[in-house]
């Protein structure tokens, strides 16, 4: 029996989505091509692997058995590929980095540019996904590293984490915003304007509420709701430039806009909250040379950013 790994990937996608059209879309195949792939797999095995008699396609008992082994085989294949990359070194290496569209993307982009200039032979692949999905992608070996907020993973023994330094978070608005006419607006003023931001982990939301004056905490807990929810840092900044919304953003994310004067910081409203980010890999998984170089470059970039941040806060 000669089973191809691609057929196993297709079977796993069909089991996950329960529908030929959705699975084919996820695999970037046409439904007929996926159907032919499954038929070829069933012919190789000599058994029906999926029940197609209902609206949702479900694995048969034999299909469940095959899928259990398929998951293990594909993980072993990824581990083999990873070890081969370790042996090839920096000149022919490959690195897949998972980042969220908010802080992760803003942190990683300059680092990748530095890494690409220094080692043009390394193939870099950035997987942009919601932060909630990145741990599962790391577990499935779809990515080698992930750059994330540490609140969700730092106590999980599955991950080896390299923490970055703390990054100051501050409220910002567009230049010319009505709040800028006040000498030192208070937190009560924030509820008069729309709030914009990403989907926050509950721990960060609670930490932010704790930093407010005690008299306002219950009011904010009851009334605080984002008027604009946007996980893309680039889009969120564009939104702020065109409306009266306010947002709490890490300084490194708005460094250029603050320098140009496009966005303004509301310093009297800064709650003293810092973002805690880091880069994580699966515990016990060896780092390739490309991954080591990325982490070293990220740490050096992080130090430089925090030095500029300290100078800005001091002036």
Q: Which tokens in the block code for residue 3?
A: 């089973």
Domain end marker among 30, 61, 85: 85
CATH number at residue 184: 3.40.190.290
Would you say residue 189 lies in a domain?
A: yes
Is residue 92 assigned to a domain?
Answer: no
Rounded to whole angstroms, how far apart are CA atoms 167 and 202?
Answer: 19
Please choose, from the candidates 293, 286, 256, the residue with its C-alpha nearest in 3D space to the C-alpha of residue 116: 293
What's the pLDDT at 217? Answer: 64
Instruction: Please indicate, yes or no, whether residues 41 and 181 belong to a single structural domain of this protein.
Output: no
122, 94 contact by CB (below 8 A): yes
242 and 217 within one domain: yes
- Report the half-sphere exposure of 300 (CA within 13 A, side-chain side): 11
Residue 123 and residue 27 share a domain: no
- What are the φ and ψ backbone dihedral angles of 265, each rounded to 5 degrees? -90, 135
Model confidence, pTM: 0.69
Q: Is 126 helix (H, G, I), strand (E, B) or coil?
A: strand
Indicate whether 216 and 264 sit together in one domain: yes
Return the exposure string of 21-54: e unless at least 16 CB atoms fall within 10 Å of the residue's CB, then b.
Answer: eebbeebebeeeebbebbeebbeebeeebbeeee
- Residue ending a domain, choose from 85, 106, 141: 85
Residue 60 is part of which domain span? Answer: 5-85
Same domain? 107 vs 78: no
Residue 55: give its domain's CATH number: 1.10.10.10
**247 bridge partner residues:** 172, 196
Q: How far is CA 83 from the centre of its chain?
A: 25
Asked if residue 152 is part of any domain, the answer here is: yes
Instruction: Give the pLDDT of residue 88.
Output: 57
Look up tokens 């195949």; give the residue: 29
Q: Are residues 182 and 271 in the same domain?
A: yes
Residue 50 lies in a domain: yes
Same domain, yes or no: 245 and 209: yes
CA pair distance 291, 122, nearest whole angstrom: 10
Q: How many domains does the chain have?
A: 2
CA 186 to chain centre: 33
pLDDT of residue 258: 95
Residue 91 included in any domain: no
Same domain, 75 and 114: no
Do the domain assignments include residue 157?
Answer: yes
User: Where are the strands (E) in the chain, listed by range?
Assistant: 50-51, 58-59, 94-99, 123-128, 145-149, 159-174, 195-197, 228-229, 246-250, 263-265, 274-282
| Residue-level pLDDT, tens digit, the chain, 315 residues | 678 888 888 988 888 888 888 888 888 888 888 888 888 888 888 888 888 877 788 888 888 888 888 888 887 777 777 666 655 555 557 899 999 888 888 899 999 999 899 888 888 999 999 888 999 999 988 999 999 988 778 888 999 999 999 898 888 999 999 989 888 777 777 778 888 988 876 666 666 666 666 666 666 655 566 788 898 999 999 999 999 999 989 999 999 999 999 999 988 776 667 788 999 999 988 888 888 889 999 999 999 999 999 999 888
Domain shared by 75 and 101, yes or no: no
In a domain, 90, yes or no: no
Shared domain check, 133 and 10: no
The continuous run of DSSP H or E covering 283 comes out as none
| SS3 assignment, position 110 | helix
181, two tokens: 């006419």
Which of 55, 85, 115 is the endpoint of a domain?
85
> Is there a contact between 246 and 173 (Cβ–Cβ < 8 Å)?
yes
For residues 81 and 103, membership in a common domain is answered with no
pLDDT at site 41: 87
- On whether both 28 and 110 belong to a single domain, the answer is no
**Looking at residue 162, what is its pLDDT?**
92
Question: What is the reported pLDDT for 286?
Answer: 82
């Amino acid at each position: 029996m000669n089973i191809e790994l691609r057929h196993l990937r297709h079977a796993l996608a069909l089991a996950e989505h329960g529908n030929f059209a959705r699975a084919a879309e996820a695999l970037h195949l046409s439904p007929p091509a996926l159907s032919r792939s499954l038929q070829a797999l069933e012919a190789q095995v000599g058994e029906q692997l999926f029940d197609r008699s209902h609206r949702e396609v479900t694995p048969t008992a034999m299909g469940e058995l095959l899928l259990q082994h398929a998951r293990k085989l594909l993980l072993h294949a990824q581990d083999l590929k990873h070890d081969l990359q370790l042996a090839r070194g920096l000149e022919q290496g490959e690195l897949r980095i998972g980042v969220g569209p908010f802080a992760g993307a803003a942190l990683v982009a300059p680092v990748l540019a530095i890494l690409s200039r220094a080692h043009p032979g390394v193939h870099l692949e950035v997987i942009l996904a919601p932060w909630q999905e990145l741990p599962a992608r790391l577990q499935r070996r779809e990515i080698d590293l992930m750059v994330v907020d540490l609140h969700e993973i730092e106590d999980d023994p599955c991950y080896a984490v390299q923490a970055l330094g703390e990054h100051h978070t501050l409220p910002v608005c567009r230049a010319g915003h009505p709040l800028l006419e006040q000498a030192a607006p208070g937190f009560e003023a924030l509820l008069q304007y729309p709030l914009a931001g990403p989907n926050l982990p509950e721990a960060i939301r609670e930490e932010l509420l704790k930093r407010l004056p005690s008299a306002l905490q219950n009011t904010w807990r009851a009334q605080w709701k984002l008027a604009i929810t946007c996980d893309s840092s680039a889009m969120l900044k564009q939104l702020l430039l065109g409306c009266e919304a306010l947002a709490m953003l890490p300084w490194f994310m708005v460094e250029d806009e603050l320098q140009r004067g496009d966005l303004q910081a509301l310093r009297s409203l800064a709650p003293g909250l810092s973002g805690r980010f880091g880069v994580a890999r699966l515990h016990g998984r060896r780092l390739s040379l490309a991954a080591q170089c990325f982490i070293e470059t990220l740490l050096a970039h992080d130090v430089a950013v925090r030095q500029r941040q300290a100078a800005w806060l001091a002036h």
